[in-house]
Amino acid sequence: MSDLIFVSLENWDQIWRRNQFLVAEMARRDPGRTILFVGPARDVSYGVRTRRLPFGSDGARVRPPFDTIRLFRPLKLLPYTLALGRGANQILERVQVRRAARRLELARPILWLNPHQAHHYAGRLGESCVVYDITDDWISLTQKSWLRELTRWQDEQLCRKADAVIVCSEKLYKMKQNLSTNLHLIPNGVDAAHYASVLQSGPLPAPAQVWRKPVLGYTGTLHPDRVDVPPEKFVEAIAKHKPRVVGMSVLLTTCFKSVIATVEAIKQAGLRESVAIMVGGAAASDLLRQSAGCDFYGKSAVDGVKFAGGVAV
């Protein structure tokens, strides 16, 4: 099989998500294939604004389970909000990815694109074919009008350019039918064997042994003050306690609209300039940070603590 350049919406880190499972399985099935896993660009302009410069390793802090998977993150120098900056960033990112591919001696690799912002790579990396892998309905996300139109245009460009388009839901399949001539519906699934390891530590507690299967679990506390908190509660708390940092945890993509509404409510109350807003959680991403207008996205609780500590100093 051909080598692969996999441009991912998320980094390869300690928390395994869909893309890690997918790429790891590709590597396992074909040990002779080299995979260049390209994570989101390290944002220099954002780092300057927040005094958190994204220098250092261009890979991740963790090592993939196969030596044939190589991690890479290009640098992004200019703000995404400016058309000129976006164009310059795209040229720079392509140059960096091409160099990384040459170092690995990739010859006409398959180009697998996950984020719609990666449309500019198609046809410009010497690839043998392009796969556009759509994992969410980013067009329907509540966001600024210019960003929504840009998202729509980027998505349409990739749907038309890609040799194959993959979607994970019936809704996405219907939305993309008129944009792609080679559209495939592949629903998401669960790697049961991966999670079976929880049973290796011994038998389940007595109450859990009688639970009907499958069991969906959540680790943490659930009470009204921490689930689906309305925007006005954030505004009231900020006005009362005057914090330097406000954080929101997003566990489902259906919560995106609530994050955007909360940031907007804080703006309307005239409190936006007084607080830094960070977002995290299993469903969060840097794209959500940009769309909602948050100041920071953290992949882990440790990232959030470091950001909050830096702001509070």
What digits encode the pLDDT tens for the residues 93-115? 999 999 999 999 998 999 999 99
Cis link prior to 214 (omega < 30° from 0)?
yes
- Structure-token pair, residue 212: 């009907």
* Beta bridge partners of residue 77, listed in sequence order: none
Which of 145-149, 205-209, 263-267, 271-275 is the least confident region? 205-209
Residue 210: the pLDDT is 74
* Burial class of 215 by CB neighbour count within 10 A (0 to 12, 13 to 18, 19+): exposed
Q: Is the pLDDT of residue 155 over 80?
A: yes
**Whole-number pLDDT of residue 229:** 82
**pTM exceeding 0.85:** no
Range with lowest mean pLDDT among 39-53, 71-85, 106-120: 39-53
Q: Which strands form 296-298's sheet, in the order they lie side by side?
A: 245-249, 276-280, 296-298
Whether pLDDT at 308 is above 90:
no
Q: For the residues 88-97, what does the mean pLDDT come to?
A: 96
Q: In the chain, what percentage of residues exceed pLDDT 90?
A: 51
pLDDT at 221: 47
* CA distances, 78 to each of 92, 134, 146, 237 (Å): 10, 26, 18, 34
At residue 207, does pLDDT exceed 90? no
Residues 227, 232, 233: CA angle, nearest 5 degrees: 50
What is the distance between the alpha carbons of residues 170 and 185, in angstroms, rounded to a whole number? 7
Q: Is the pLDDT of residue 136 over 60?
A: yes
Does residue 150 have a pLDDT over 80? yes
- pLDDT at residue 270, rounded to an integer: 93
Domains along the chain with CATH numbers: 4-185 (3.40.50.2000), 231-312 (3.40.50.280)
Highest mean pLDDT among 184-193, 221-230, 293-302: 293-302
Query: What is the pLDDT at residue 285?
Result: 86
Q: What is the pLDDT at residue 58?
A: 53
In the prediction, which pLDDT does 286 show? Answer: 87
Tokens encoding 18: 């869909």
Q: How far apart are CA 62 and CA 114, in angstroms?
A: 21
User: Phi and psi dihedrals of 185, rounded to 5?
Assistant: -100, 115
What is each CA distance from 159 to 121, 133, 168, 180, in whole angstroms?
A: 13, 10, 14, 5
